[in-house]
Amino acid sequence: MNKSVWTDRGQLPKFDSFFGDKSTDVLIIGGGICGILCAYFLDRLGIDYILLEGSRICSGITKNTTAKITSQHGLIYDKLIKSVGEEKANMYLEANQQAVIEFEKLCRDIDCDFEWKPSYVYTMSDRKKAEREVTAVNRLGFAAEFCDSLPLPFETEGAVKFKNQAQFNPLKFIASIAKGLNIYENSFVRHIENGVASTNMGSVKADKIIVATHFPFINRHGSYFIKLYQHRSYVIAFDKFTDIYGDLDGMYIDESDTGLSFRKYNDLMFIGGGGHRTGKNGGNWNEIREFAKSHYGDINEKYTWSTQDCMSLDGIPYIGHYSKNTENMYTATGFNKWGMTSSMAAAKILCDMVQGIKNEYEDVFSPSRSILKPQLMVNGYEAVKNLIMPKTKRCPHMGCALVWNKTERSWDCPCHGSRFSENGSLIDNPATGGLNESH
Average confidence (pLDDT) over 300-311: 95
Phi, psi of 19 (to 5 degrees): -135, 145
Type of residue found at 231: H
Instruction: Give residues with Cβ within 8 angstroms of 221, minimum separation 6.
Output: 322, 323, 325, 326, 329
Domains 68-87+110-166+229-311 and 374-428 share a fold: no
Please list the residues that pair with 254 across neighbouring strands.
Answer: 122
pLDDT of res. 243: 64
In the chain, domain spans: 5-63+172-227+314-365, 68-87+110-166+229-311, 374-428
Averaged pLDDT, 186-194: 93
Using an 8 Å Cβ cutoff, are 281 and 327 in contact?
Answer: no
Give dist(CA 261, CA 273) in Å, integer: 6
pLDDT higher than threshold 80 for residue 361: yes
pLDDT of residue 439: 46
What is the C-alpha to C-alpha distance for residues 235 and 19, in angstroms, rounded to an integer?
Answer: 38
Q: Which of 364, 416, 329, 326 is nearest to 26 (CA)?
A: 329
Q: What is d(CA 313, CA 327) in angstroms, rounded to the nearest whole number? A: 23
The DSSP code sequence of 49-113 is EEEE-SSSTT-SSGGG---EE-S--SS-HHHHHHHH-HHHHHHHHHHHHHHHHHHHHHHTTS-S-
List the one residue out of 206, 210, 202 whose CA is nearest residue 23: 206
Instruction: Name the average pLDDT for the chain.
Output: 94
Please report the pLDDT score of residue 242 as a whole number: 67
- Reduce the DSSP state of residue 173 to 3 states and report it: helix
For residue 364, count other CB atoms closer than 10 A to its CB: 24
Please state, in angstroms and as integers, the Cα–Cα distance from residue 67 to each residue in 134, 211, 290, 308, 397, following that order: 24, 22, 24, 14, 29
What's the pLDDT score for residue 291?
94
Specify the CATH number of the domain 68-87+110-166+229-311.
Answer: 3.30.9.10
Q: Domain 374-428: give its CATH architecture.
A: 3-layer Sandwich (2.102)
Relative to beta strand 251-254, strand 115-122 is: parallel
User: In the predicted model, what is the mean pLDDT of residues 347-355?
Assistant: 98
Which CATH number fits the domain 5-63+172-227+314-365, given the four candidates 3.30.43.10, 3.50.50.60, 3.40.50.300, 3.30.1330.40?
3.50.50.60
Distance CA 67, CA 263 (A): 10
Residue 111 has pLDDT above 80, yes or no: yes
